[in-house]
Structure 1
Amino acid sequence: MTSRREFLGAAGALFCGCGLLRSAHAQAQRRVAVAVNGKPVKTIDVHAHCAFAETLPLLDNDRSVLVNNVRGAEEAFVDINQRFAAMDQQKVDMEVLSVNPFWYRRDRDNAAQIVKVNNEKMAELCAKHSDRFAGFCSLTLQDPQLAVQELETAIRRQGLKGAAIGDSVADWEFSDPRFHPVWQKAEELGAVLFIHPQGVAELNRRLRGNGWLANAIGNPLGTTIALSKMIFEGTFDRFSGLKVIAAHGGGFLPSYADRSDHACLVGPANCDPNVKLAKKPTEYLRQIWFDSLIFSPEAIRHLQAQVGASQIVLGSDYPYPWAMAPVDHIFACDSLNDEQKLDVLGRTAAKLLNIAA
């Protein structure tokens, strides 16, 4: 039988807004490891966000750039006790932190300053709390040559694990050759790229109205387009060792990927005969990793069938309350056997990101 983490003093836990705070007694108690059929595992959430107040002077002190009208947004400014309490309640041992890239359409020099502060503060935070946090760096991708330098500094000197990137930069897709030096450097360094969508701005008019469709539809669509372009334009062939994690279970792509295998057969005039892929489009999904931030065991079962359990890693989107019990979500998935649950909960991420398990 699968076992879960037990907490001493857990009765002291309480919700406060979106976050989770514990009583002083509960905070003093030792965390007990999550175990699957008696085997402990270090749970690693690869999809957790933060923001740094030190960037505000570079934003004309416009706090709304970093904190918008979304539940949990204020908690992106990390309060250590609050964040650790939330992680303990979620049964998360380690978060791999990232800053959502909001600077791609800003002036290049301003963006570079923001990225510099982000990476310095991220490295500082992760070094101070190395048992609980690892981090993805930020990149000034509107200047790919600068991004190459930033990535090398982040990995070689700052101890970060890779880079959090959007789904495109201004009007440029990640498959554009201008980004090849960045992906080449990431491949060389073994750096992981965490693709987190920023929505699809050209659809904003149609997505206005009830339901926050700009996020509910636009964000998964952004990831779907980014991955599809990288597949069909040959990016994953050119950089076959590139390590990519796609947020939100890869958007819509894994749910309808088989259509991609038929597109050029049905409409060859719409496909470039000079781009000769090494394998079927769906086969590239098995060299990409996907977070578990999809909302039911059935969704995990389908993702597992499409990409393999080995390509799924834990993700919550904390502090935004999309998935407040990410570990329990994996325990509820009958399609995963015990070894696969151990992998999804932390072992795969530990290996991918070179984190001590």
Structure 2
Amino acid sequence: MNIFAKTGGNMTNRRDFLTGSAGLAGILFCGCGLPRAAHAAAAAPHRLPVTVAGKHVKTIDVHSHCLFHEANALMGDEAAKLTPPINGAQQAFMTVEDRARAMDAMAVDMEILSVNPFWYGKERDLAAKIVSINNDKLAALVASKPDRFGAFASLTLQDPALAVTELETAMKKQGLGGAAIGDQVAGSEFSDPKFDPVWAKAEELGAVLFIHPEGVPELNKRWAGNGWLLNTIGNPLATTIALNHLIFQGTLDKFPNLKVLAAHGGGYLASYAPRDDHACFVAPSACDPNIKLKKQPTEYLNQLHFDALVFTPEALRHLVAQVGASQIMLGSDCPYPWELHPVDAIMATDSLSDAQKHAILGGNAAKLFGLKGVG
């Protein structure tokens, strides 16, 4: 299947995608790197189909990325900066068939694709064009291979009213499962009331909101030096800040049925969550007396969802202890080689029961996204 030709025009409903292949043209993905990372298991990795205690499980990776050349091109000279300095990323654009082969090698049946938002700082009309391209192409892919791909919509969150419309179109007409969002929008926290209409619509539609961090630019000077600290520390920290704002500002009380999925195990929140329960007791002057939370801060972790991209069995054991196995899902960060064998990492966690492994590998995601016949 050759998908390198460019296309024009927007598709407006899922039937259009199912009856034609034009929307697939121009879809390009950063490829999942196949060289084994140093931390990968030495034994032969799991292959499809994956079974737990003799029972087949459809493995669903909720944290995997893609990019589209047509959308990137709208960024002009900045487009080159959108591919991060990751081993092999510049050379790893591939066809849908290549991505499917890489998924097979990772023992992943299905990916829920997302595009990390690079348009929040752009003027509204340019951002809307980028979002339209992303969503049209994601919808085309999902419609053509629904057994292998789902997707999070992109949103023009700098215009919340437009984002509401985009989310409704994505869910009702394009067959997408929710939206991928950053950790803030050009300096505005998601707890800002101006975003409430977006969260209200997401709650109404049952849309999953995937929080993927974009770093903490205020600390750019401190990220200098060895270790790629911009990502190593900055990304988990950004997610931690975003989630804490949603908790402490009462946003999760306003929208108790909001489906929030946090990347990278939710950052550092689960590692030191009990400190949150003490903050306003120790320093009441640093807290707003007008915000009266309905629960202890740590209790909100049990209504959030997290990927399992925490690398070691001990880290996953701790995450499960903090938030519950029912809230955790398989995540690889594909195409970036953080975890080349994500299924193996979960299977190697002896503290998990077979039922918990089955749930994390695919059952939880199937339930969250309402995937019928899966789980």
Separation in structure 1 between the aligned mates of residue 203 and residue 332 of structure 2, nearest angstrom: 26
Q: CA deviation at 1:37?
A: 0.5
Cα deviation, 1:210-266, whole Å, max 9, x if unaligned, reads: 110010000000000000000000000000000000000000000000000000010
Match of 1:294 in 2: 310
Q: CA deviation at 1:174?
A: 0.3
Of residues 46, 55, 73, the one that matches 2:71 is 55
Match of 2:254 in 1: 238
Inter-CA distance 226–76: structure 2 relative to 1 (3 Å threshold): farther
Separation in structure 2 between the aligned mates of residue 84 and residue 326 of structure 1, nearest angstrom: 16
Separation in structure 1 between the aligned mates of residue 290 and residue 93 of structure 2, nearest angstrom: 48
Match of 2:12 in 1: none
Match of 1:252 in 2: 268
Match of 1:115 in 2: 131
Separation in structure 2 between the aligned mates of residue 217 and residue 50 of structure 1, nearest angstrom: 23
Cα deviation, 1:102-140, whole Å, max 9, x if unaligned, reads: 111111111110000000011011111111100000000
SS in 2 for 1:221: helix
Q: Is the 8 A contact 2:263 2:307 kept in 1?
A: yes
SS in 2 for 1:286: helix
Counting only pairs closer than 5 Å after superposition, residues 98-109 of structure 1 correspond to structure 2 as 98-109=114-125
Q: Is the 8 A contact 1:151 1:162 kept in 2?
A: yes
Inter-CA distance 125–65: structure 2 relative to 1 (3 Å threshold): farther
Inter-CA distance 95–75: structure 2 relative to 1 (3 Å threshold): farther
Q: Is the 8 A contact 2:32 2:102 kept in 1?
A: no
Q: CA deviation at 1:65?
A: 3.6
SS in 1 for 2:150: strand
Match of 1:66 in 2: 82
Match of 1:41 in 2: 57
Cα deviation, 1:299-334, whole Å, max 9, x if unaligned, reads: 001001100111110000000000000000000011
Separation in structure 2 between the aligned mates of residue 272 and residue 78 of structure 1, nearest angstrom: 50
Q: What is the identity, as a one-letter code, of the residue corresponding to 2:204?
A: E
Is 1:19 matched up with 2:14? no
Separation in structure 2 between the aligned mates of residue 76 and residue 350 of structure 1, nearest angstrom: 29
Match of 1:281 in 2: 297
Of residues 227, 241, 254, the one that matches 1:211 is 227
Inter-CA distance 202–61: structure 2 relative to 1 (3 Å threshold): closer
SS in 1 for 2:338: coil
Of residues 165, 170, 179, the one that matches 2:195 is 179
Q: Is the 8 A contact 2:307 2:330 kept in 1?
A: yes
Q: CA deviation at 1:81?
A: 2.3
Counting only pairs closer than 5 Å after superposition, residues 140-155 of structure 1 correspond to structure 2 as 140-155=156-171
Moved more, 197-206 or 126-135: 126-135
Inter-CA distance 45–193: structure 2 relative to 1 (3 Å threshold): same
Cα deviation, 1:277-313, whole Å, max 9, x if unaligned, reads: 0000000000000000001000001001100111110
Q: Is the 8 A contact 1:50 1:76 kept in 2?
A: no
SS in 1 for 2:74: helix
Counting only pairs closer than 5 Å after superposition, residues 258-337 of structure 1 correspond to structure 2 as 258-337=274-353
Structure 1 segments, 4+ long, off by >6 Å, are none
Q: CA deviation at 1:32?
A: 4.2
Q: CA deviation at 1:33?
A: 1.6
Is 1:349 matched up with 2:365? yes
Separation in structure 2 between the aligned mates of residue 20 and residue 89 of structure 1, nearest angstrom: 8
Q: Is the 8 A contact 1:18 1:71 kept in 2?
A: no
What percent identity do the matched residue pairs reach?
63
Q: What is the identity, as a one-letter code, of the residue corresponding to 2:145?
A: H
**Structure ranking higher on relative contact order (CA contacts 8 Å, 6+ apart):** 2
Q: CA deviation at 1:86?
A: 1.1
Match of 1:95 in 2: 111
Separation in structure 2 between the aligned mates of residue 207 and residue 35 of structure 1, nearest angstrom: 42
Normalised to the residue count of structure 1, the TM-score between the two structures is 0.90
Q: CA deviation at 1:75?
A: 6.9
Inter-CA distance 101–239: structure 2 relative to 1 (3 Å threshold): same
Q: CA deviation at 1:18?
A: 5.9
SS in 1 for 2:350: coil
Q: Is the 8 A contact 2:73 2:79 kept in 1?
A: no
Separation in structure 2 between the aligned mates of residue 18 and residue 136 of structure 1, nearest angstrom: 18
Match of 1:137 in 2: 153
Q: Is the 8 A contact 2:32 2:334 kept in 1?
A: no
Is 1:81 matched up with 2:93? no
Q: What is the identity, as a one-letter code, of the residue corresponding to 2:194?
A: R
Inter-CA distance 267–121: structure 2 relative to 1 (3 Å threshold): same
Inter-CA distance 228–62: structure 2 relative to 1 (3 Å threshold): closer
Separation in structure 2 between the aligned mates of residue 185 and residue 72 of structure 1, nearest angstrom: 39
Normalised to the residue count of structure 2, the TM-score between the two structures is 0.86
Q: Is the 8 A contact 2:182 2:211 kept in 1?
A: yes
Separation in structure 2 between the aligned mates of residue 321 and residue 32 of structure 1, nearest angstrom: 20
- Structure 1 unaligned spans of 5+: 1-16, 22-30
